[in-house]
Amino acid sequence: MGTLLRGTSTPAPAVAPRAPAGRAGLRRLQAWRTAGIAALWLTSLFVVALWVSGGGVQAAGQGGAPLVTTLGRLTGLVSANLLLYQVLLMARVPLFERAFGRDALTRAHRRTGFWSFWLFLAHIVLITLGYAVVAGSGFLAELWLLVRDYPGMLLAAAGTALLVGVVGLSIRRARRRMRYESWHLLHLYAYLGVGLALPHQLWTGADFLASPAATWYWWTLWAVAAGCALVYRVAVPLVRSARHDLRVAEVVPDGRDGVTVRMTGRGLDRLGVRAGQFLVWRFLDGPGWTRGHPFSVSARPAPDGLSITARVVGDGTARLTRLRPGTRVLVEGPYGHLVGAHREGTKLLMLGAGAGVAPLVALLQAEQYAPGDATLVTRDSSPEAALLSGDVAALVRERGVRHQPLDGPRSHVSSPWLPGAYEAWQGAQLIAHLAPDLAEHDVYLCGPVPWMDAVRADLDRLGVPRSRVHSEAFAV
């Protein structure tokens, strides 16, 4: 059995505990979430109304070719609307970022993309089949006729081929075989695919041209989506980066295979970064600088400095080790809901795996708590692999943080988030041992998604309310 709570101390209080402002933060979060959900539902209901006003229900009641064709219309409308959501969800729009958080938006983007794709294919098959039945022709012959003779269909066919390729590469098994940089570049072709398919919908789609209101709706929403992507993904990051003049100040090794990059800039407090959040970073150090990488801040943000810490696992993180002082930095963000404003209790239980410890260290530096009221659990393959060991030791020494390292190969007997040295424990049992007064704690999780899912399952077994569990996926 592993040793519990090594290296703890109990100094005099460095910062007085306070009552967290979690409820006010949660109310603001709920207000944003309500607004975001309302915006999504209103557009969805409008799309259904377009189909109904276009005789969709009556056509469905006729059966045969009219039924097939009207289902093709409906799947096309829903697919187009989901495609719109997909662009908006990843356009860094403040409404959706504040409503759902980057973690949830990334998952929704993936699910929405697959649903939109399959409905898009269903639209092609159903429309072609319905037209073929009416014309008395074969499916392939009718498909070729549609592509050849209808305005915009050649472009739509090219866009479909691009989308098929992007979706195929986004399947998890294929995604794991590719470098992040390659996948990110190929993933951008989805925007080109959408752009090629769009003219066909706006030139010949009956439901897009059925009325001035329908035409206005679709043109306006697509223009808004494109505008949001350009403003929030390009213009805002460029303006902010120029204003704050972020530059690399220092690059230092961290642990066996990690690196910490410290940066300086002007008036970084106005950037609004909070401990626990992350930004998308681009370092202007040569070819490949356009590919952004998400990294959490790994120290309490200061008005003149920010730090990030990463484990070197690929080309994107390896280039961090080669950065030179003075290199300019472009940033998008900040993003993420892993912040102290959502606390409800007075105590903290922080669980981080690998580089997931970075935002937890920043939170422990920034938050207020009494000595012994914060527990940090770190999971690494070995003690040598641990990141930010010096900062963790300082938190133990100066703030009274209780640190529990969980090092070693994974357990194949007990809870999958535990190492083999602790396989005599069940995960829920260990959590209850580390935080016997768990009802007074907020739990913060950061690490690989499967690891966090395993921890969350044990927290559910202990009856911890979901409102007290705050998480951010560490996945690039």
Phi, psi of 424 (to 5 degrees): -75, -15
Per the domain annotation, does 315 fall within a domain? Answer: no
Q: For tokens 């986004």, what's the residue?
A: 170
* Per-residue 3-state assignment (H helix, E strand, C coil) for 269-308: HHHCCCCCCEEEEEECCCCCCCCCEEEEECCCCECCEEEE
Does a structural domain hold residue 40? yes
The pLDDT of residue 147 is above 70: yes
The 8-class DSSP code of residue 328 comes to: B
pLDDT of residue 109: 73
Domain total of the chain:
2
Which pair of structure tokens corresponds to residue 305? 């400095």
State mean pLDDT over 176-191.
62
In a domain, 287, yes or no: no
Q: CB under 8 Å to 120, separation ≥6 — which residues? A: 75, 76, 79, 83, 160, 163
Lowest average pLDDT, out of 48-52, 78-82, 329-333, goes to 48-52
CATH number of domain containing 362: 3.40.50.80
Joined together, the tokens standing for residue 371 give 């000595």
CA dist list (Å): 309 to 64, 254, 262, 336, 396: 61, 8, 9, 17, 19
pLDDT tens, residue by residue, 451-470: 999 999 999 999 999 889 99
Query: What confidence score (pLDDT) does residue 12 get?
Result: 37
Which residues does 394 contact at the CB level (< 8 Å), separation at least 6?
Answer: none
Q: Which of 215, 240, 265 represents a domain boundary (last residue)?
A: 240
Q: Which helix (H) or strand (E) holds 405?
A: strand 402-407
**Closest among 403, 293, 309 to 356, alpha carbons compared:** 309
| Final residue of a structural domain among 240, 265, 297 | 240
For 428-443, what is each residue's pLDDT tens digit?
999 999 999 999 999 9
Domain for residue 398, yes or no?
Answer: yes
236 and 347 belong to one structural domain? no
Residue 181 pLDDT > 70, yes or no? no
Q: Is the dihedral of CA 81, 86, 92, 98 positive or negative?
A: positive
Specify if 444 maps to a domain: yes
First to last CA, the chain: 33
* Mean pLDDT, residues 285-289 taken together: 83
Q: Which residues span the domain enclosing 37?
A: 22-240
- Residue 111 included in any domain: yes
Q: Is residue 84 part of a domain?
A: yes
What does the pLDDT read at residue 226? 83
Report which of residues 171 and 136 the model is more confident about. Answer: 136
Q: How far apart are CA 402 and CA 404, in angstroms?
A: 7
Q: Note the pLDDT of residue 393.
A: 96
Mean of pLDDT over the chain: 81
Q: Report the pLDDT value the prediction gives residue 8, as an integer from 0 to 100.
A: 44
Q: Does some domain include residue 390?
A: yes
Asked whether 306 and 263 are in contact (CB, 8 A), the reply is: yes
Q: Which of 209, 240, 271 is the last residue of a domain?
A: 240
- Mean per-residue pLDDT for 237-252? 93
CA distance 189 to 212: 32
Helix (H, G, I), strand (E, B), or coil: what is residue 150?
coil
Beta strands in 247-386 (DSSP E): 247-254, 258-264, 278-283, 293-296, 305-311, 329-335, 347-353, 374-380
Comparison of pLDDT for 286 and 307, the residue scoring more:
307
- What is the per-residue pLDDT across 33-75, written as a single tens digit (0 to 9) for each? 677 677 777 777 777 777 777 777 777 778 888 888 888 878 8
